[in-house]
Amino acid sequence: MLLITCPVCRSPLEQHAQVWSCTNRHSFDVAREGYVNLLLAQQKNSPSPGDSAESLRARRAFLEAGHYAPLRKALHSLADELGALRILDLGCGEGYYTSALGPSESEVEVAGLDIAKPAIQLAAKRYRGIRWIVGSGASLPFADRSLDLVTNLFTQLHVSELRRVIEHGGHLVIVTPAPDHLWSLRAGLFETVQAHEPEKFLGELGDGFTLDRHLNIRNELDLGQQALRDLLAMTPYVWKARPERRARLEASPGLRTAAHFTVLVVRRC
């Protein structure tokens, strides 16, 4: 059973079909789409925190076209192999990877949490059987040591919360761009391309975590114009690029590049 806690007083939440509530009478309605909003006003750093609806729509279109399917498949196998029963996908976005984490017919329980309400709304409408939560990675609504696996894909690490919620012997899986991820796309956007540094995340983790495995998932992409536009709309790179460079890429008929991800499998010790 996933031990989800009240964001106000941290006592356990009883999860009913229409409402989740704690013994201190804090209660949170289950929305029509099936998600629960546990994000408190003081946990928001802006009126609509997290990814925008526009970037989420582009992300969904790009992911559903299968361009990053090898990564989704690898995550599915990894979760299976680790044998985790209580899983959280943190910063889950619109749920494409979350939905690959648990074999539906087993006792595996999966939650997806994101600070962006539009992300969780999209996820909950599309994928059933997962606990969808609007919440903050900086203050996770989960009991201490109550999770066997937390996945962190392309999102910020909140180390002290991860250390608190993952059971000893459980795992944290960090997915981040490999040094040459989307190199030719980035060469179109910037004068000089900086190699990503996936290992820097290990330095952030500190005590209580040890690296078990380092995997690389790479696939060639042959993108048509629409896929290229979706990719540009979903990636944070574009905010740093000069607008004329972005416009030139968007107008091009397509692009060949390679997706390359680093997967760090870290054990909570």
Ligand X SMILES: C[S@@+](CC[C@H](N)C(=O)[O-])C[C@H]1O[C@@H](n2cnc3c(N)ncnc32)[C@H](O)[C@@H]1O
Number of residues that bind Zn ion (CB under 5 A): 6
230 binds ligand X (CB under 6 A): no
Cβ atoms of 35 and 27 within 8 Å: the answer is no
111 binds ligand X (CB under 6 A): no
Q: How far is the CB of 22 from Zn ion (least distance, A)?
A: 3
133 binds ligand X (CB under 6 A): no
According to DSSP, residue 106 is labeled: S
Q: How large is the C-alpha radius of gyration of the chain?
A: 19
Q: Which is nearer to ligand X, 59 or 86 (CB)?
A: 59
Give the one residue of 34, 50, 102, 198 binding ligand X; rule: CB under 6 A.
Answer: 50
Dist. CA 128–CA 121, nearest whole Å? 12
Pair type for strands 131-134 and 147-153: unpaired
Q: At what angle do helices 53-64 and 117-126 cross, to 10 degrees?
A: 40
Which residues contact residue 202 at a Cβ distance below 8 angstroms, ignoring those fewer than 6 apart?
211, 264, 266
Give the one residue of 9, 138, 211, 251 binding ligand X; rule: CB under 6 A.
Answer: 138
116 binds ligand X (CB under 6 A): yes
7 binds ligand X (CB under 6 A): no
Exposure of 10 by Cβ count < 10 A (0-12 exposed, 13-18 middle, 19+ buried)? Answer: middle
- Print burial letters for 65-93: b (CB count within 10 Å at least 16), e (below 16): eebbeebbebbbebbeebebbbbbbbbbb
Give the one residue of 9, 19, 138, 187 binding Zn ion; rule: CB under 5 A.
Answer: 9
Q: How far is the CB of 25 from ligand X (least distance, A)?
A: 26
Give the one residue of 22, 39, 119, 189 binding Zn ion; rule: CB under 5 A.
Answer: 22
188 binds ligand X (CB under 6 A): no
Number of residues that bind ligand X (CB under 6 A): 19
Could you say which of ligand X, Zn ion, none residue 138 binds, taking C-beta under 5 to 8 angstroms by partner kind?
ligand X
Give the one residue of 91, 102, 177, 198 binding ligand X; rule: CB under 6 A.
Answer: 91
Q: How far is the CB of 265 from ligand X (least distance, A)?
A: 17
Dist. CA 5–CA 20, nearest whole Å? 10
